[in-house]
Amino acid sequence: MSEPGTYVEPTFKRDTNYIETRITADGRDGFPVEAGRYRLVVSRACPWANRAIIVRRLLGLEDALSIGICGPTHDRRSWTFDLDPGHVDPVLRIPRIQDAYFARDPQYARGITVPAIVDVPTGAVVTNDFKQITIDLETEWAAFHREGAPDLYPEHLRAEIEEVSEPIYRFVNNGVYRCGFAGTQAAYDKAYLRLWRHLDVLEEHLSTRRYLVGDHITEADIRLFTTLVRFDTVYHGHFKCNRNKLIELPALWAYARDLFQTPGFGDTVDFTHIKAHYYVVHRDVNPTGIIPGGPDLTNWAEPHGRESLGGSPFGDGTPPGPPREVVPPEHNPVLALL
The pLDDT confidence band at residue 76, using thresholds 50, 70 and 90, is confident
Q: Which of 133, 137, 154, 155 is nearest to 146 (CA)?
A: 137
Q: Where are the domains of the chain?
A: 156-337
Question: What percentage of residues in the chain have a pLDDT greater than 90?
Answer: 93
Q: Does residue 139 surpass a pLDDT of 80?
A: yes
**Bond from prior residue into 295 cis (ω within 30 degrees of 0):** yes
The pLDDT confidence band at residue 77, using thresholds 50, 70 and 90, is confident
253 is in an annotated binding site: no
Neighbours of 202 (CB within 10 A): 21
Task: Please give the CATH number for the structural domain made up of 156-337.
Answer: 1.20.1050.10
Phi, psi of 116 (to 5 degrees): -140, 145
Q: How far apart are CA 181 and CA 184, in angstroms?
A: 9
For position 123, what pLDDT does the model report? 98
The pLDDT confidence band at residue 14, using thresholds 50, 70 and 90, is low
The CA-based dihedral angle spanning residues 41, 25, 168, 4, taken in that order and rounded to the nearest 10 degrees: 30
User: 104-132: per-residue pLDDT in tens?
Assistant: 999 998 889 999 999 999 999 999 999 99
Q: Could you list the active site residues?
A: 46, 177
For position 9, what pLDDT does the model report? 46
pTM above 0.85, yes or no: yes
Neighbours of 265 (CB within 10 A): 24
Q: Does residue 159 surpass a pLDDT of 80?
A: yes
Q: Which residues contact 262 (CB under 8 A, 6 or more apart)?
A: 217, 313, 319
Q: Does residue 223 surpass a pLDDT of 70?
A: yes
